[in-house]
Structure 1
Amino acid sequence: MTTSIAMGLPGVSLAPGDHICAFYRGPAERDAILVPYLREGLRAGDKCLCVTDDPLPAESVRELAADPGHLESLTSSSTYLLDGFFAIDRMIAFWERAVGRAVDRDGFGFVRAVGEMTWALSGRPGVADLLAYESRLNDFLPRYPQVILCLYDLRRFCDGEVLMDIVRTHPAVLISGQLLDNPWYVEPDEYLSRHPGIAVPAVDALGAARAVP
């Protein structure tokens, strides 16, 4: 299996099984990560699964794909928040179906997925389980030849404790164009035993956080 995969950013390479949190500020920085990541995947013949919170990045992403079979552009409302709530097992089952279908049925040798995570600040039922979900996702990554990139807007995720736990649940961190092995990563069993009920803050307006009940 390939052990080094171009990410699309200068000097940045990925490895199968990578689960990366990418920090950015605002839509322009998000797309500066998102679009090259997907463009490189399409160039390499990977299956690309892209979940975003709003239609603007989805529109720019669709323009990348001459063959829509290589790129699925989805929204948070149809995946993470299907039926208006978040459920960990349902979302992991979504990835299992989507990635498994790409590999086992459609014959793709590699899948690169990306999720914009601002939906977790919506205050919808279940979103406080974000960090448990991110931790459990690490047990799913080795099942297929894949990488998953999670996009976090630092203008919106303002709570320092939550940011630290986002870091603890990802083995790798992308910030300022550099991909770093994460010395603060905690394995799922240990993390979940330490943090049985940590809450994620919702955001009423940019930078104004409140606790999810």
Structure 2
Amino acid sequence: MNKQTSFSVCGESLSSPMHICGFFDSKEQQYEVIIPYILEGLEANEKVINILEGSRHGEHCRCLAENGVSITEKLSSGQLEVLASENTYINGGEFVAEKMYKTLEQTLISASRAGYESVRACGDMVWALKNLPGTDELLEYENSLNLLTPKHSVSLICMYDINSFSQNTLTDILFTHPYVIKDGKISKNPHYIEPSSLITKFSDFSSSPLKS
């Protein structure tokens, strides 16, 4: 049984559990949104997980440090985890939706057992542009998260670069997120489709696979 906890993003006060897609047109815009979100979580003693390309870890940690985060302390305590896409989403050089679902599920369970009342996570989805095996399971994975999140006190932000993903892909992604961040503002997503209803549409998606 999850416990609802409040959190802020884009200046709006919301409650977890929540699955959000963030559409950003630059790293600067992305950080304007996620830095306050991360800082608030750390100050509230929540578990905070960031997943992004390994090559960006140095830059990411510097940005957090410049905003007052004691990186070494937070990483050592385990409250903050900065993970690489290569070791999570595409571990082994491929994406397997069920495997990543179970990885995230276990992470949430472990955080709860460690005493964290809530988890905040944000993942950069640029790995999906690498055309690695299993990338076509992205929609299935995003849809499955809407079955996972209600079981936990967690807020997830899946970050998409609108300059890198095709418009068709971004349109499809909207189906799988109850809330959307666009132009630095968050709102309820009118295009969201409930998981059980979206499953029936996967056959249609398969005839028009995600493309970068």
Answer yes or no: is 1:200 the counterpart of 2:210: yes
Counterparts in 2 of 1:19 and 1:57: CA distance versus 1, 3 Å: farther
Root-mean-square deviation (CA, aligned residues, Å) is 1.6
Unaligned runs of 5+ in 1: 203-213
Answer yes or no: is 1:74 the counterpart of 2:119: no
What do the CA deviations read for 1:172-194 (whole angstroms, capped 9, x no partner)?
00112211011110011211211
Unaligned runs of 5+ in 2: none
Normalising by structure 1, what TM-score? Answer: 0.87
Counterparts in 2 of 1:95 and 1:165: CA distance versus 1, 3 Å: same
Structure 1 CA distance for aligned equivalents of residues 39 and 6 of structure 2: 17
Answer yes or no: is 1:146 the counterpart of 2:172: no
Higher relative contact order (CA 8 A, sep 6+): 2
Shift of 1:62: 5.8
1:118-133 correspondence to structure 2 within 5 Å: 118-133=126-141
**Which residue identity is paired with 1:45?**
N
**Which residue identity is paired with 1:58?**
H
Show the counterpart of 2:185.
178
The size of the alignment, in residue pairs, is 198
Show the counterpart of 1:36.
36
SS in 2 for 1:147: strand
Structure 2 CA distance for aligned equivalents of residues 116 and 176 of structure 1: 17
Normalising by structure 2, what TM-score? Answer: 0.87
Structure 2 CA distance for aligned equivalents of residues 199 and 56 of structure 1: 33
Deviates more, 1:63-72 or 1:73-82: 63-72
Show the counterpart of 2:101.
92
Shift of 1:2: 4.2
Shift of 1:14: 2.5
**Which residue identity is paired with 1:75?**
A
Are 1:168 and 1:184, in contact at CA under 8 Å, matched by a contact in 2? Answer: yes
